């Protein structure tokens, strides 16, 4: 446990020193809500059930811009880059268990998601007075399930990508369509019906659905639960079978 905590702390400091990753994880979502808030404000809108544009944007930004970007971009690219440089092979030869090395990455990315969410909520509350979730206790396991689904998908990408460039290309090809078409950045109500139907095949769509339903007091969405739990289990199993250390 001590080795895991030490490695996690070191990996967290290394992640925070990466300007690009830190910017897109911590600063970019805040800039998004400040930019779009200045354009649309946060006055109640009938199409949003009386909520404002920024009210409904917060959970979507958390799912897409924070959980999605860390799980599908930062996590696989970092793992593949370490494998390519021989770092994972040296870790495997150290007293640390392989599980500790991978768990450290999970904990680091989870911590970044939590920190980014806190900053996003702080900015939204101070500037636009966004409505906070009605049930924090239910939101916590939903947040973790969303992280599990996207992180496991990121591990799957890392299992098959042979170079950091390949991981970057594959991650972008998966992440950006989901980010724009899942309802995470653009409200689902504004997307064409055909895109809404196609977006049901994206796991991120169900992350957005699950977080929004709980955020606004509509309860647990059973379909989202099944999809995200199934995605997490399937991708985790495939990652265990095919992950390479060198």
Query: For every one of its 246 residues, what pLDDT tens digit does the chain have, with 9 covering 90 and above?
Result: 777 788 888 888 888 888 877 888 888 899 988 888 888 888 888 877 778 888 888 999 999 999 999 999 999 999 999 889 888 888 777 777 777 888 888 999 999 999 999 999 999 899 888 888 878 888 999 999 999 999 999 999 999 998 989 999 999 999 999 998 898 888 787 788 888 888 899 999 999 999 999 998 888 999 999 999 999 999 999 998 988 887
Give residue 44's domain range. 2-242
Token pair, residue 57, equals 């944007």
How many domains does the chain divide into? 1
pTM: 0.92
Within 10 angstroms of residue 130's Cβ, the number of other Cβ atoms is 22
């Amino acid at each position: 446990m001590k080795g895991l905590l030490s490695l996690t702390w070191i990996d967290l400091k290394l992640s925070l020193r990466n300007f690009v990753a830190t910017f897109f994880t911590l600063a970019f979502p805040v800039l998004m809500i400040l930019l779009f808030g200045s354009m649309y404000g946060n006055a109640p809108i009938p199409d949003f059930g009386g909520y404002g544009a920024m009210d409904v944007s917060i959970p979507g930004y958390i799912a897409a811009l924070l959980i999605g970007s860390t799980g599908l971009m930062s996590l696989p690219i970092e793992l593949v880059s370490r494998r390519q440089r021989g770092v994972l092979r040296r870790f495997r030869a150290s007293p640390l268990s392989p599980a500790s090395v991978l768990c450290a990455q999970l904990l680091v990315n989870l911590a970044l998601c939590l920190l980014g969410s806190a900053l996003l909520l702080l900015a939204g509350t101070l500037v636009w007075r966004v409505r906070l979730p009605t049930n924090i206790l239910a939101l916590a396991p939903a947040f973790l399930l969303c992280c599990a689904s996207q992180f496991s998908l990121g591990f799957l990408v890392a299992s098959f990508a042979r170079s950091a460039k390949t991981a970057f290309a594959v991650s972008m090809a998966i992440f950006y369509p989901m980010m724009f078409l899942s309802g995470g950045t653009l409200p689902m109500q504004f997307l064409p019906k055909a895109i809404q139907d196609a977006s049901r095949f994206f796991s991120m769509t169900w992350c957005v659905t699950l977080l929004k339903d709980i955020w606004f007091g509509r309860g647990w969405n059973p379909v989202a639960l099944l999809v995200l739990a199934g995605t997490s289990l399937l991708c985790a199993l495939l990652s265990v079978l095919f992950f390479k250390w060198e």
